[in-house]
Amino acid sequence: MFLIFFLIICITTPIISFLFKINLSNIFGSKTFNDYLLLYNIETRTGGVVSDFKSHWEYINLLKDDLSNLLKLTLGVDEKAKLINFPLHHIIFSQLFFTKTIDNYLITLFLISFFLPIIFFKILKNNYQNLDKSGLLLLALIILILPGFQYSAIWGNNHITALIFFSIGIYYFKEFKIHEEKISLIKSLFFFSLASYTKQFYIFIFIYILTFAFKKLSLRELFLVIIYLIFLGFPGLLFTIKNPLLLLGLSQEVTNFGSSILISGSIMFFYLIPFIIQCSINRVETDQNFDDFYNLKRFIFSLITVIVLSFFFEYSSNVGGGIFLKLSKIIFKNYILLFLSSFLGIYFLFYFCEKNFDNRLLVTLLLITFSSGFFIFQKYFEPMFFIIFLTLFDKEKILLSIRKNNFISCTFFLIYYLSLNYIYFFGI
């Protein structure tokens, strides 16, 4: 019964949000007719993905008019090209004959976005073959009610395209891990490349993949893989030389290296909360001890990391920073809740991956990927971290969290979604 109810909620809410053009990326913004969307009679919150949409759509049209603009214009420098992303998403949609208007473009990407939970469900089925499929379906459906997914799908954001490529890459990587078929590794690297050519921060995954491949491949095979990656990455290198802001970003010293680690840890902790609860409940129900749940070395490491980095904490913007930073400033007028959530985030991130070096490396990469001094948005992790956590972290630990009580995860993220909608319509 709950599965049917949750399925209806997860399918209908994105459709309703799409029809009313809801912008949950800026729940505190003013609701008005955005000047760019006025001709289309679209009223929504300003800022956030709506502003991003303007940049994306204008660049798509530039490529529609002349594909050679890809090489003629410098991103972030030329007035016509305000985009600061690798442009694979824009190349694809500029060449589709049925995305010539704003409406067609938005509808097309919105429909495509529903492939993401389908791909994710397929990965979960392959990864947890002995688990009840209905429980895995519930986990896959959660993606549909994540605000970051919904507003990206509604507003034609390249985040969706990148996530689809990234998820397909994970699918083939898991095939490689299970069956050690070299062709699956080749396919995974190809789709990870497509994801990186859509959103450049996905490049972090290659360090993780190569570290794993180093243990599985012969020296000759590893050499061939590296040659293959050089081939895949060469167009990106040339494009970056032409568009250096892809690497350097705009001049926005919003935060620093250490502070960004705290923020990233805090954001990821938010998505871990229901799984920590479920893991605890399932341990009690199955009479399992908590010996590995509480670890003194992990506690000391997490505590020292947060204490040291907190002395240099800086985030000089009201935009981004994640849910705990915002709550901390609203409730306590300081960063105490952020630091607490950062500590718990780092502690439990390493709890869910502590059995092997590969996963510890993955956590480290997730913590430092967004440490460039720019804005850190929750949407960067949503649903990327959710997907990575359930597919690439310690399988035994994850099983303790999802074998039973997926009701908790579904309820948690449903409350999260409904809370943002309440603030959007009624304020706080």
Across residues 53-76, what is the average pLDDT? 90
- pLDDT at residue 199 in the model: 93
Query: Regarding predicted confidence, which is higher, 227 or 215?
Result: 227
Query: Regarding predicted confidence, which is higher, 369 or 405?
Result: 369
**Confidence at 91, pLDDT banded by 50, 70, 90:** very high
Q: Which residues contact 74 (CB under 8 A, 6 or more apart)?
A: 81, 242, 243
Across residues 105-110, what is the average pLDDT? 95
- pLDDT at residue 74 in the model: 87
pLDDT digits (tens, 9 = 90+) for 119-155: 999 999 999 988 889 999 999 999 999 999 999 999 9
CA distance linking residue 275 with residue 295, whole number of Å: 18
- pLDDT at residue 385 in the model: 95
DSSP string, 338-383: HHHHHHHHHHHHHHTTTT-HHHHHHHHHHHHTT-SSS---GGGGTT
How many CA within 13 A on the CB side of residue 323?
18
Residue 281 Cα distances to 138, 290, 404, angstroms: 18, 11, 9
- pLDDT at residue 119 in the model: 97
- pLDDT at residue 372 in the model: 65
Across residues 64-88, what is the average pLDDT? 87
Across residues 95-124, what is the average pLDDT? 93
Q: Which residues contact 248 (CB under 8 A, 6 or more apart)?
A: none
pLDDT digits (tens, 9 = 90+) for 295-346: 899 999 999 999 999 998 988 877 788 899 999 998 999 999 999 999 999 9
pLDDT digits (tens, 9 = 90+) for 166-206: 999 999 999 998 888 899 999 999 999 999 999 998 999 99
pTM for the structure as a whole: 0.94
CA distance linking residue 315 with residue 95, whole number of Å: 40
Across residues 408-413, what is the average pLDDT? 93
- Per-chain mean pLDDT for the chain: 89
pLDDT exceeds cutoff 60 at 58? yes
Q: Which residue has 């959007």 as its token pair?
A: 424
pLDDT exceeds cutoff 60 at 380? yes
Query: Regarding predicted confidence, which is higher, 98 or 301?
Result: 301
Helices marked H in 20-101 — which ranges? 49-65, 69-72, 88-94
3-state secondary structure of 275: helix
- pLDDT at residue 113 in the model: 97
* Percent of the chain surpassing pLDDT 70: 94
Beta bridge partners of 43: 33
pLDDT digits (tens, 9 = 90+) for 12-57: 999 999 988 888 887 776 666 565 565 566 667 777 788 888 889 9
pLDDT digits (tens, 9 = 90+) for 241-267: 998 888 766 555 778 888 899 999 999
CA distance linking residue 254 with residue 370, whole number of Å: 12
DSSP category for residue 77: T
- pLDDT at residue 376 in the model: 84
Residue 169 Cα distances to 177, 184, 331, 400, angstroms: 12, 9, 41, 25
Residue 42 Cα distances to 23, 34, 38, 253, 333, angstroms: 11, 7, 6, 33, 36
